[in-house]
Amino acid sequence: MSQSLSLGWPAPAKLNLMLHVNGRRKDGYHELQTLFQFLDHGDLLDFKITDNGKITLHSNLDGSIADDDNLIVKAAKCLQTHCHGSQGAEIWLDKKLPMGGGVGGGSSDAATTLVALNHLWQCGLNNDQLAALGLTLGADVPIFIHGHAAFAEGVGEKLHTVNIPEHWYLVIAPDVHVSTADVFQHPELPRDTPKVALSELLSAQWKNDCQALVSNSFPQVAKALAWLLEYAPSRMTGTGACVFGEFNTQQQALDCLAKMPATFSGFVAKGTNISPLQHRLERC
Protein backbone atom coordinates (compact mmCIF):
# COMPACT_ATOMS: atom_id res chain seq x y z
CA MET A 1 0.00 0.00 0.00
CA SER A 2 1.36 3.44 -0.88
CA GLN A 3 1.99 5.74 2.06
CA SER A 4 2.53 9.12 0.43
CA LEU A 5 3.18 10.91 -2.85
CA SER A 6 5.69 13.75 -3.04
CA LEU A 7 6.00 15.73 -6.27
CA GLY A 8 8.36 18.14 -7.96
CA TRP A 9 11.81 17.50 -6.48
CA PRO A 10 14.31 19.37 -8.70
CA ALA A 11 17.64 17.93 -9.80
CA PRO A 12 19.27 21.10 -11.13
CA ALA A 13 22.06 21.45 -13.62
CA LYS A 14 25.40 22.89 -12.55
CA LEU A 15 28.09 24.73 -14.44
CA ASN A 16 31.81 24.56 -13.83
CA LEU A 17 32.52 28.26 -14.32
CA MET A 18 36.23 27.44 -14.35
CA LEU A 19 38.29 24.25 -14.13
CA HIS A 20 42.02 23.99 -13.48
CA VAL A 21 43.93 20.72 -13.52
CA ASN A 22 46.83 21.17 -11.08
CA GLY A 23 48.48 17.77 -11.32
CA ARG A 24 48.07 14.00 -11.21
CA ARG A 25 48.35 12.14 -7.93
CA LYS A 26 50.10 8.80 -7.41
CA ASP A 27 46.70 7.08 -7.17
CA GLY A 28 45.82 8.29 -10.69
CA TYR A 29 43.31 10.93 -9.60
CA HIS A 30 43.85 14.56 -10.50
CA GLU A 31 44.22 17.60 -8.27
CA LEU A 32 41.64 20.13 -9.41
CA GLN A 33 40.35 23.59 -8.70
CA THR A 34 36.85 24.36 -9.93
CA LEU A 35 33.97 26.72 -9.28
CA PHE A 36 30.43 25.28 -9.23
CA GLN A 37 27.21 27.23 -9.64
CA PHE A 38 23.70 25.82 -10.03
CA LEU A 39 21.12 26.63 -12.71
CA ASP A 40 17.38 27.08 -12.24
CA HIS A 41 16.86 24.33 -14.84
CA GLY A 42 17.11 20.57 -14.54
CA ASP A 43 15.43 17.21 -14.16
CA LEU A 44 12.38 16.65 -11.96
CA LEU A 45 11.69 13.67 -9.72
CA ASP A 46 8.47 12.49 -8.04
CA PHE A 47 8.40 9.95 -5.23
CA LYS A 48 5.77 7.58 -3.90
CA ILE A 49 6.76 5.92 -0.65
CA THR A 50 5.74 2.28 -0.31
CA ASP A 51 5.92 -0.34 2.41
CA ASN A 52 7.09 -3.23 0.21
CA GLY A 53 10.81 -2.35 0.30
CA LYS A 54 11.13 -2.25 -3.50
CA ILE A 55 12.81 0.54 -5.46
CA THR A 56 11.13 1.10 -8.83
CA LEU A 57 12.13 3.74 -11.39
CA HIS A 58 9.91 5.09 -14.16
CA SER A 59 11.44 7.56 -16.59
CA ASN A 60 11.17 9.15 -20.01
CA LEU A 61 14.56 7.72 -20.98
CA ASP A 62 14.76 5.23 -23.82
CA GLY A 63 15.96 2.40 -21.62
CA SER A 64 19.61 3.00 -22.47
CA ILE A 65 20.55 2.61 -18.80
CA ALA A 66 19.45 -0.50 -16.91
CA ASP A 67 17.71 0.29 -13.63
CA ASP A 68 20.40 -1.37 -11.55
CA ASP A 69 23.04 0.84 -13.21
CA ASN A 70 21.02 4.03 -12.81
CA LEU A 71 22.39 6.40 -10.17
CA ILE A 72 18.86 7.11 -8.91
CA VAL A 73 18.27 3.44 -8.08
CA LYS A 74 21.78 3.09 -6.67
CA ALA A 75 21.26 6.16 -4.46
CA ALA A 76 17.92 4.89 -3.14
CA LYS A 77 19.32 1.44 -2.35
CA CYS A 78 22.43 2.96 -0.78
CA LEU A 79 20.34 5.06 1.61
CA GLN A 80 17.96 2.16 2.27
CA THR A 81 20.87 -0.11 3.22
CA HIS A 82 22.61 2.54 5.32
CA CYS A 83 19.45 3.29 7.31
CA HIS A 84 18.33 -0.37 7.51
CA GLY A 85 15.01 0.80 6.08
CA SER A 86 12.06 -1.39 5.27
CA GLN A 87 10.25 1.21 3.17
CA GLY A 88 10.50 1.32 -0.60
CA ALA A 89 9.80 3.91 -3.25
CA GLU A 90 8.42 4.37 -6.71
CA ILE A 91 10.33 7.12 -8.46
CA TRP A 92 9.39 9.03 -11.60
CA LEU A 93 12.13 10.87 -13.51
CA ASP A 94 11.36 13.62 -16.01
CA LYS A 95 14.76 13.79 -17.74
CA LYS A 96 15.56 17.17 -19.27
CA LEU A 97 19.34 17.45 -18.91
CA PRO A 98 21.67 15.94 -21.53
CA MET A 99 23.59 12.85 -20.50
CA GLY A 100 27.37 13.13 -20.61
CA GLY A 101 27.11 16.87 -21.04
CA GLY A 102 29.14 18.06 -18.06
CA VAL A 103 26.15 19.69 -16.34
CA GLY A 104 25.91 17.03 -13.64
CA GLY A 105 22.62 15.41 -14.60
CA GLY A 106 23.26 11.94 -13.19
CA SER A 107 24.99 13.24 -10.06
CA SER A 108 22.20 15.74 -9.46
CA ASP A 109 19.55 13.01 -9.84
CA ALA A 110 21.41 10.89 -7.27
CA ALA A 111 21.70 13.80 -4.83
CA THR A 112 18.01 14.69 -5.13
CA THR A 113 17.11 11.04 -4.52
CA LEU A 114 19.22 10.97 -1.35
CA VAL A 115 17.89 14.30 -0.05
CA ALA A 116 14.25 13.55 -0.85
CA LEU A 117 14.20 9.99 0.50
CA ASN A 118 16.16 10.99 3.60
CA HIS A 119 13.26 13.34 4.32
CA LEU A 120 10.41 11.10 3.16
CA TRP A 121 11.74 7.97 4.87
CA GLN A 122 12.60 10.05 7.94
CA CYS A 123 16.16 8.70 8.05
CA GLY A 124 17.42 11.76 9.92
CA LEU A 125 20.84 12.02 8.24
CA ASN A 126 22.46 15.45 8.06
CA ASN A 127 24.04 16.92 4.93
CA ASP A 128 27.55 15.73 5.79
CA GLN A 129 26.32 12.17 6.27
CA LEU A 130 24.34 12.30 3.02
CA ALA A 131 27.34 13.76 1.20
CA ALA A 132 29.54 10.90 2.42
CA LEU A 133 27.04 8.44 0.96
CA GLY A 134 26.82 10.50 -2.21
CA LEU A 135 30.58 10.47 -2.67
CA THR A 136 30.45 6.67 -3.04
CA LEU A 137 28.17 7.23 -6.06
CA GLY A 138 30.10 10.02 -7.78
CA ALA A 139 32.56 12.85 -7.11
CA ASP A 140 30.02 15.59 -7.93
CA VAL A 141 27.15 14.25 -5.81
CA PRO A 142 28.19 16.05 -2.58
CA ILE A 143 28.06 19.51 -4.20
CA PHE A 144 24.41 18.92 -5.12
CA ILE A 145 23.61 17.69 -1.60
CA HIS A 146 25.18 20.69 0.11
CA GLY A 147 23.25 22.89 -2.30
CA HIS A 148 25.37 26.03 -2.37
CA ALA A 149 27.73 27.39 -5.02
CA ALA A 150 31.23 26.32 -4.08
CA PHE A 151 34.92 26.43 -4.88
CA ALA A 152 36.21 22.86 -4.92
CA GLU A 153 39.77 21.61 -4.50
CA GLY A 154 41.57 18.29 -4.15
CA VAL A 155 39.77 15.73 -6.30
CA GLY A 156 36.65 17.86 -5.85
CA GLU A 157 35.87 16.85 -2.27
CA LYS A 158 37.13 20.00 -0.48
CA LEU A 159 34.28 22.50 -0.77
CA HIS A 160 34.32 26.17 0.15
CA THR A 161 31.00 28.01 -0.07
CA VAL A 162 31.05 31.09 -2.32
CA ASN A 163 28.63 33.80 -3.36
CA ILE A 164 29.27 34.89 -6.93
CA PRO A 165 27.27 36.91 -9.50
CA GLU A 166 24.16 35.10 -10.73
CA HIS A 167 24.25 35.65 -14.49
CA TRP A 168 21.94 34.33 -17.19
CA TYR A 169 23.32 31.60 -19.42
CA LEU A 170 22.63 30.07 -22.79
CA VAL A 171 23.73 26.44 -22.56
CA ILE A 172 24.29 24.52 -25.80
CA ALA A 173 24.36 20.73 -25.70
CA PRO A 174 26.28 19.27 -28.67
CA ASP A 175 24.97 15.88 -29.76
CA VAL A 176 27.96 13.95 -28.45
CA HIS A 177 28.85 12.08 -25.26
CA VAL A 178 32.22 12.98 -23.75
CA SER A 179 33.73 10.45 -21.34
CA THR A 180 35.18 12.15 -18.26
CA ALA A 181 37.51 9.19 -17.71
CA ASP A 182 38.84 9.44 -21.28
CA VAL A 183 39.52 13.16 -20.89
CA PHE A 184 41.48 12.72 -17.67
CA GLN A 185 43.44 9.77 -19.08
CA HIS A 186 44.37 11.61 -22.28
CA PRO A 187 48.13 12.26 -22.59
CA GLU A 188 47.54 15.75 -24.03
CA LEU A 189 45.46 17.04 -21.11
CA PRO A 190 47.25 20.00 -19.44
CA ARG A 191 48.06 19.01 -15.87
CA ASP A 192 50.32 21.80 -14.62
CA THR A 193 48.14 24.84 -13.91
CA PRO A 194 49.46 26.46 -10.70
CA LYS A 195 47.05 26.50 -7.78
CA VAL A 196 45.40 29.85 -7.18
CA ALA A 197 43.98 31.24 -3.93
CA LEU A 198 40.21 31.72 -4.00
CA SER A 199 40.52 35.47 -3.40
CA GLU A 200 42.79 35.77 -6.43
CA LEU A 201 40.66 33.47 -8.54
CA LEU A 202 37.46 35.47 -8.07
CA SER A 203 39.03 38.48 -9.77
CA ALA A 204 40.85 36.51 -12.51
CA GLN A 205 39.69 35.56 -16.00
CA TRP A 206 38.23 32.07 -15.82
CA LYS A 207 39.20 29.17 -18.09
CA ASN A 208 38.70 25.43 -18.45
CA ASP A 209 41.85 23.34 -18.85
CA CYS A 210 39.88 20.55 -20.57
CA GLN A 211 38.34 22.79 -23.23
CA ALA A 212 41.07 22.74 -25.91
CA LEU A 213 41.49 18.95 -25.74
CA VAL A 214 37.75 18.26 -25.98
CA SER A 215 37.27 20.83 -28.76
CA ASN A 216 40.07 19.21 -30.76
CA SER A 217 38.59 15.74 -30.22
CA PHE A 218 34.93 16.64 -30.85
CA PRO A 219 34.20 19.02 -33.75
CA GLN A 220 30.61 19.43 -32.51
CA VAL A 221 31.92 21.05 -29.31
CA ALA A 222 34.32 23.29 -31.22
CA LYS A 223 31.55 24.41 -33.57
CA ALA A 224 29.12 25.25 -30.76
CA LEU A 225 31.80 27.15 -28.85
CA ALA A 226 32.91 29.10 -31.90
CA TRP A 227 29.34 30.19 -32.63
CA LEU A 228 28.60 31.15 -29.03
CA LEU A 229 31.80 33.17 -28.64
CA GLU A 230 30.50 35.60 -31.25
CA TYR A 231 27.80 36.70 -28.80
CA ALA A 232 29.14 36.36 -25.26
CA PRO A 233 32.02 35.23 -23.04
CA SER A 234 31.75 31.46 -23.42
CA ARG A 235 33.39 28.31 -22.10
CA MET A 236 32.88 24.60 -21.81
CA THR A 237 31.58 23.20 -18.53
CA GLY A 238 33.41 20.35 -16.80
CA THR A 239 34.80 17.84 -19.28
CA GLY A 240 32.01 18.72 -21.75
CA ALA A 241 30.23 18.45 -23.99
CA CYS A 242 28.00 21.39 -22.99
CA VAL A 243 29.20 24.93 -23.55
CA PHE A 244 27.70 28.10 -22.10
CA GLY A 245 27.58 31.80 -22.84
CA GLU A 246 27.21 34.37 -20.08
CA PHE A 247 24.67 37.22 -20.31
CA ASN A 248 23.62 40.04 -17.99
CA THR A 249 19.89 39.70 -18.69
CA GLN A 250 17.43 36.98 -19.55
CA GLN A 251 16.39 38.83 -22.70
CA GLN A 252 19.94 38.93 -24.03
CA ALA A 253 20.22 35.16 -23.53
CA LEU A 254 16.84 34.55 -25.16
CA ASP A 255 17.75 36.75 -28.13
CA CYS A 256 20.89 34.67 -28.65
CA LEU A 257 18.89 31.44 -28.32
CA ALA A 258 16.55 32.69 -31.07
CA LYS A 259 19.55 33.03 -33.42
CA MET A 260 20.95 29.60 -32.59
CA PRO A 261 21.34 27.32 -35.62
CA ALA A 262 18.71 24.59 -35.86
CA THR A 263 21.46 21.98 -35.71
CA PHE A 264 22.13 22.94 -32.07
CA SER A 265 19.96 22.29 -29.03
CA GLY A 266 20.10 24.43 -25.94
CA PHE A 267 18.30 26.23 -23.16
CA VAL A 268 18.40 29.49 -21.21
CA ALA A 269 18.73 29.40 -17.43
CA LYS A 270 19.74 31.63 -14.55
CA GLY A 271 22.74 30.91 -12.38
CA THR A 272 21.83 30.55 -8.72
CA ASN A 273 24.05 30.21 -5.67
CA ILE A 274 21.36 28.35 -3.71
CA SER A 275 20.21 25.11 -5.31
CA PRO A 276 16.52 24.81 -6.25
CA LEU A 277 16.64 21.51 -4.34
CA GLN A 278 17.29 23.43 -1.10
CA HIS A 279 14.28 25.65 -1.73
CA ARG A 280 12.13 22.54 -2.33
CA LEU A 281 13.33 20.93 0.89
CA GLU A 282 12.54 24.10 2.87
CA ARG A 283 8.93 23.90 1.71
CA CYS A 284 8.43 20.47 3.30
CATH of the domain at 79: 3.30.230.10
Q: Looking at the structure, do residues 121 and 176 belong to the same domain, yes or no?
A: no
Q: Looking at the structure, do residues 96 and 196 belong to the same domain, yes or no?
A: no
Q: Looking at the structure, do residues 19 and 56 belong to the same domain, yes or no?
A: yes
The length of the chain in residues reads 284
pLDDT given for residue 154 in this prediction: 85
Nearest to 101 by CA among 257, 220, 258, 20: 220
pLDDT mean over 120-140: 94
Say what percent of the chain tops pLDDT 90: 83
pLDDT tens digits for range 59-95: 987 665 556 678 999 999 999 999 999 999 999 999 9
pLDDT tens digits for range 227-278: 999 999 999 999 989 999 999 999 999 999 999 999 999 999 999 999 999 9
Nearest to 206 by CA among 36, 39, 58: 36
Domain CATH number, residue 225: 3.30.70.890
Highest mean pLDDT among 140-154, 189-203, 247-261: 247-261
* 156 Cβ contact partners less than 8 Å away, ≥ 6 residues apart: 32, 34, 139, 140, 143
Q: Looking at the structure, do residues 150 and 47 belong to the same domain, yes or no?
A: yes
Cα distances (angstroms) measured from residue 247 to each of 38, 166, 193, 194: 15, 10, 27, 29
Whether residue 280 is contained in a domain is answered as no
Q: Looking at the structure, do residues 135 and 185 belong to the same domain, yes or no?
A: no
Contact 53, 19 (CB under 8 A): no
pLDDT mean over 116-121: 97
Contact 13, 104 (CB under 8 A): yes
The boundaries of the domain holding residue 176 are: 168-272
| Residue 111, pLDDT above cutoff 60 | yes
pLDDT mean over 103-129: 96
Q: Which residue has the higher pLDDT, 1 or 16?
A: 16
Q: Looking at the structure, do residues 172 and 94 belong to the same domain, yes or no?
A: no
pLDDT given for residue 1 in this prediction: 36
pLDDT given for residue 68 in this prediction: 65
Among the candidates 120, 142, 162, a domain finishes at 162
pLDDT given for residue 114 in this prediction: 98
Among the candidates 143, 162, 181, a domain finishes at 162
| Residue 156, pLDDT above cutoff 80 | no
Whether residue 249 is contained in a domain is answered as yes
CA angle 265, 270, 274 (to 5 degrees): 130
Q: Looking at the structure, do residues 19 and 122 belong to the same domain, yes or no?
A: yes
Total structural domains within the chain: 2
Whether residue 128 is contained in a domain is answered as yes
Query: pLDDT-based confidence at 187, cuts 50/70/90?
Result: very high
Catalytic residues: 14, 140
